[in-house]
Amino acid sequence: MRIGTCSWADEALSKYFYPPKMPAKERLAWYSEHFDTVEVDSTYYRLPGESMVEGWAERTPPGFVMHVKAFGLMTRHPVKIEVLPEDLRDEMPVDERGRVDRPPRELRAEVFRRFLAALEPLRRTGKLGGILFQFPSYVVFKDRSLDYIEWAREQLGGDEMLVELRHRSWLDDENRAETLAFLERIGATYVTVDAPKSDDAKNLVPTVPAVTSATAYVRFHGRNLSTWNKRGGSAAERFDYLYSEEELAEWVPTLRELAGEAEQTFALFNNNATAQDPRNPLATVSQAATNAFELRSLLST
């Protein structure tokens, strides 16, 4: 079972996980001395370049696994036209706010092609894990959504697709079994989430541990309901939550059960803010790194 964080470069990690004054280019190598897997989230905002990905491969040891978050256009998020390569901009339809608006499949497929080509250094060195498709909450359970996810899966070829759904219609009593069966049929990995609980928020899905492929994958987003839908807040504010040891201990039997159903299991922490160190009131810690170490310790006992 591999445990890590959903970034190696967020502010909380940069300030309170790495040694003081460590150059940014040295952080990934240092991170990989402590964890054997990580998610890359910068690729959600811009298409990666192959030289950058080559650097990731070079700075990590054999056996390290990097999961890469899909570019926003690949998950039907709005993206500004200027974040696309220049040669694609003239062809893309845009709305009045300068965002790409419902591009035709052939243009979207070209974005997929470039994204996947840039990941070749990780693929070649055996370090590419899954490509995380975190769909927005307005992608609801319906035929059009199923069609798009299946089409996206086809674009990935032999790469693994990790699917995180953000609208509760996918996992309600009516659709849960069909959702999981659909992901299993197309060969996609279902992402189990730990997040705040709410009876009202449609963008909070229930925690449904399940395995639909050879991979079990769990993302920990924290349980801060008060900030989940706060407008204008940063990601660190939204996921500002330090799990207690008791809360993590509750996950141990579930993770072991998932691991028994899968060939490989990953647990990644996305609570990317800072907190007071529970063992030292005078110190500040990265929530994600602290909880990742705690969970690993609990699983080893």
What are the residues whose beta carbons fall under 8 Å from the beta carbon of 196, sequence distance 6 or more? 204, 221, 222, 223, 224, 225, 228
Q: Give the tens place of pLDDT for each residue, 147-180.
A: 999 999 999 999 999 999 999 999 999 999 999 9
Q: With the C-alpha atoms ordered 256, 261, 262, 268, is the resulting torsion angle positive or negative? A: negative
User: How far, in Å, CA of 47 to CA of 38, rounded?
Assistant: 18
Residue 284 has what pLDDT?
Answer: 94
Chain-centre distance of CA 274, in angstroms? 19
Q: What average pLDDT does this structure show over 222-247?
A: 87
| pLDDT digit string, tens, across residues 257-275 | 999 999 999 999 999 899 9
Give the pTM.
0.96
For residues 212 and 187, give the distance between their C-alpha atoms in angstroms, rounded to a whole number.
Answer: 8
**Residue 12 and residue 236 in contact, taking contact as beta carbons nearer than 8 Å:** yes
In the predicted structure, residue 127 carries a pLDDT above the cut 90:
yes
Domain count, the chain: 1
- Which residues constitute the domain of residue 279? 2-300
Q: Does position 231 have pLDDT exceeding 90, yes or no? A: no
* Average pLDDT value for the chain: 95
What pLDDT score does 124 carry?
98
pLDDT number for residue 32: 98
Give me the mean pLDDT over the 201-214 stretch.
95
**pLDDT tens sequence across 43-101:** 999 999 999 999 999 999 999 999 999 999 999 999 999 999 999 999 999 999 999 98
Residue 286: which of 301, 299, 269 has the closest Cα?
269
- pLDDT one-digit tens code per residue, 232-244: 767 778 889 999 9
What is the SS3 string spanning the chain?
CEEEECCCCCHHHHHHCCCCCCCHHHHHHHHCCCCCEEEECHHHCCCCCHHHHHHHHHCCCCCCEEEEECCHHHHCCCCEHHHCCHHHHCCCCECCCCEECCCCHHHHHHHHHHHHHHCHHHHHCCCEEEEEEECCCCCCCCHHHHHHHHHHHHHCCCCEEEEECCCHHHCCCCCHHHHHHHHHHHCCEEEEEECCCCCCCCCCCCCCCCCCCCEEEEEECCCCHHHHCCCCCCHHHHCCCCCCHHHHHCCHHHHHHHHHHCCEEEEEECCCCEEEECCEEEEEEEHHHHHHHHHHHHHHC
Those residues whose C-beta lies under 8 Å from the C-beta of residue 245, and which sit 6 or more positions away, are 294, 298
Helix 252-261 × helix 287-300 angle, to 10°: 70
Alpha carbon of residue 254 to chain centroid: 20
Backbone φ and ψ for 10, nearest 5 degrees, come out as: -70, 165
Closest listed residue to residue 206, CA positions, set 166, 149, 146, 250: 166
Looking up residue 48, the CATH number of its domain turns out to be: 3.20.20.410
Q: Is the pLDDT of residue 26 over 90?
A: yes
Lowest mean pLDDT among 198-202, 226-230, 251-255: 226-230
pLDDT class of 136 with cuts at 50, 70, 90: very high
